[in-house]
Amino acid sequence: MFVDRVRVHLRAGHGGAGVVSFQKLRGKPKGKAIGGSGGRGGAIILRADPSMATLLTYKRNPHHEAGGGTHGQGDLRSGRQGDDLVLSVPLGTVIRDDEGVVVADLVEAHQQVTVLEGGRGGRGNAALVSRVHRAPNFCEQGEYGEGAWFEFELKLLADAALVGFPNAGKSTLISRVSAARPKIADYPFTTLEPNLGVVSIADREFVFADIPGLIEGAAAGKGLGHEFLRHVERARALVILLDPSPLQTENLLRQYDVLIDELARHSVELAERPRVIAVNKGDLPDVAHEADALESAIEKPVYAISAITGAGLEPLLHAVADAVDLAVREAPEREGFVLHRPVRSGFEVYRDGDVWVIEGRVAERAVGLDDLTKPEAADYAAARLARIGVDDALREAGAEPGDEVRIGDLVFEFEETE
Ligand SMILES: Nc1nc2c(ncn2[C@@H]2O[C@H](COP(=O)(O)OP(=O)(O)OP(=O)(O)O)[C@@H](O)[C@H]2O)c(=O)[nH]1
Ligand SMILES: [Mg+2]
């Protein structure tokens, strides 16, 4: 099964929690803080792997999570970092976030992108010692690893793609000139998924793609062609394969016009891609004559071939290799990219019914302590919230003392601090 589009849920690893621990020291009633910090959670990394052909494994298993960090321990021992999870995707995979924004387009072998960073480890009480808190009896929780849905879409990276009506003989041709073995049959819409084959001609080589047949209206969603027009997008050159058989209701010129029109409707740029035009089934009567007539009509070279007997294939393949070379010279190297977006900073204040809600990582971090029922911890969290501006923001938004405020799972009352 060829799977070229999947939705995947990814979650970075949770950070380990810090710990509260004291070393008893003579003369120090509380002792010395020696609680270690938690390890950070593992990140999610996507990497392009040339040996992968489809996204099937993600269809079967759409949930992936990176390793969590472990908790800190006494004696200043930090927790272990969680293992990053490196997921392989085929070359040519486009990654989108849940809002449809392209995050990366991995077309180079081993190119990679970190899509989710692991949660931070919580600081242990040793790391929280300050002038105000010389022996803190609290520590930070580990931060949750962020989880999100992504869409992976595989766009083929063929050098040349076969474009033609169903039944034109595209699969027959690719099976004749490469090791690809797609199903061939005397009825239309036999090919339901693209097939790639490597073609060697003299000392030249190119990757050829056989895609499902296109019909009129394909760009508007008719037939099977629409889904697969996307795959043609990345081919450097196109081979327009025309079908002269009496079963085909459209004549050669009309087939040609319809196919070019559908390409243009999908993208103007696609209709301008270097192309080679061929008429298949040259073993049938009168085809040579029809091919000549087409050549005069469109004033472009037309290759008459027979995918079954092999007649005319060599000149055609050289012409395709030339078109690919030309495209390589004209178009700069296809480059992948990884989008770097600033981490969302700050927080948001909004009202949900009677409750003020504060949303944002900094605010969640400020209150992410082990036990806020400890007065010392609560004071510490309150001071942190004030410092990052949460109090001011609440006041500005119109919060009154006594109003309920929610940050993550935590609900508390807004108090005026001086
Ligand atoms: N006479 C003749 N028949 C051919 C030739 N090439 C292909 N055919 C026949 O045309 C029919 C369709 O061939 P396919 O290769 O399956 O066509 P296709 O373009 O891949 O069709 P779809 O996958 O449905 O789009 C089969 O019956 C082939 O045997 C040829 O050169 N000469
Ligand atoms: Mg086919």
Sign of CA dihedral 320, 325, 328, 334: positive
Q: What is the rounded CA–CA span in Å between residue 372 and residue 55?
A: 45
Which tokens is 363 given? 């605010």
Residues with CB under 6 A from ligand 1: 164, 166-172, 184-186, 188-191, 212-213, 280-281, 283-284, 306-308
pLDDT of residue 333: 62
Say which ligand is closest to the CA of 167.
1
Which of 170, 184, 229, 247 has most ligand 1 atoms within 8 Å of CB, for mutation?
Answer: 184
Which tokens is 6 given? 């999947």
Say which ligand is closest to the CA of 305.
1
How far does residue 256's CA lie from ligand 2's centre (Å)?
18
Q: What is the rounded CA–CA span in Å between residue 110 and residue 316?
A: 34
Q: Supply the angle between the helices 252-266 and 287-298 in degrees, to the nearest 10.
A: 50
Count of C-beta atoms within a 10 Å radius of residue 269: 10
Q: Helices H, strands E: what count in the chain?
A: 10, 21
User: Across the strands, what pairs with 303?
Assistant: 278
> What is the pTM assigned to this prediction?
0.70
| Phi, psi (rounded to 5 degrees) for 246 | -60, -20
How far does residue 197's CA lie from ligand 2's centre (Å)?
13
Q: Which domains does the chain have, with CATH numbers?
A: 5-155 (2.70.210.12), 160-330 (3.40.50.300), 348-413 (3.30.300.350)
How far does residue 175's CA lie from ligand 2's centre (Å)?
10
Q: What is the pLDDT along the chain (418 residues), one digit of tens a residue?
A: 567 889 999 999 999 999 999 998 887 788 899 999 999 999 999 999 988 878 989 999 999 999 999 999 999 999 999 999 999 999 889 999 999 988 999 988 899 999 999 999 999 999 999 998 889 999 999 999 999 999 999 887 789 999 999 999 999 999 999 888 888 988 888 888 788 888 988 888 888 999 888 888 777 767 665 677 777 888 889 999 999 998 888 999 999 999 999 999 888 888 889 999 999 999 999 999 999 999 999 999 999 999 999 999 999 999 999 999 988 887 666 667 777 666 666 899 999 999 999 999 889 999 999 999 999 999 999 999 999 999 999 999 999 999 999 998 899 999 876 5
Residue entry with tokens 């060829």? 2
How far does residue 24's CA lie from ligand 1's centre (Å)?
85
Tell which atom from ligand 1 comes closest to the C-alpha of 212: 25
Tell which atom from ligand 1 comes closest to the C-alpha of 184: 16
Q: Give yes or no for a contact between 262 and 220, defined as CB atoms under 8 angstroms apart.
A: no
How far does residue 190's CA lie from ligand 2's centre (Å)?
5
Q: Whose CA is nearest to atom 16 of ligand 1?
A: 184
Say which ligand is closest to the CA of 224.
1
Say which ligand is closest to the CA of 187.
1
Q: Whose CA is nearest to atom 26 of ligand 1?
A: 186
Beta strands in 34-92 (DSSP E): 44-49, 63-65, 85-90
The 8-class DSSP code of residue 130 comes to: -
Q: Whose CA is nearest to atom 13 of ligand 1?
A: 169
Sign of CA dihedral 242, 243, 244, 247: negative
Q: What is the rounded CA–CA span in Å between residue 38 and residue 140?
A: 9
pLDDT of residue 417: 64
Coil, helix or strand at residue 79: coil
Q: What is the rounded CA–CA span in Å between residue 161 and residue 195?
A: 10
Give Cβ neighbours of residue 38 (< 8 Å, ≥ 6 apart).
15, 16, 17, 18, 19, 69, 70, 71, 72, 78, 79, 121, 122, 124, 140, 142
pLDDT of residue 285: 93
Parallel/antiparallel/unpaired status of strands 102-106 and 147-154:
unpaired
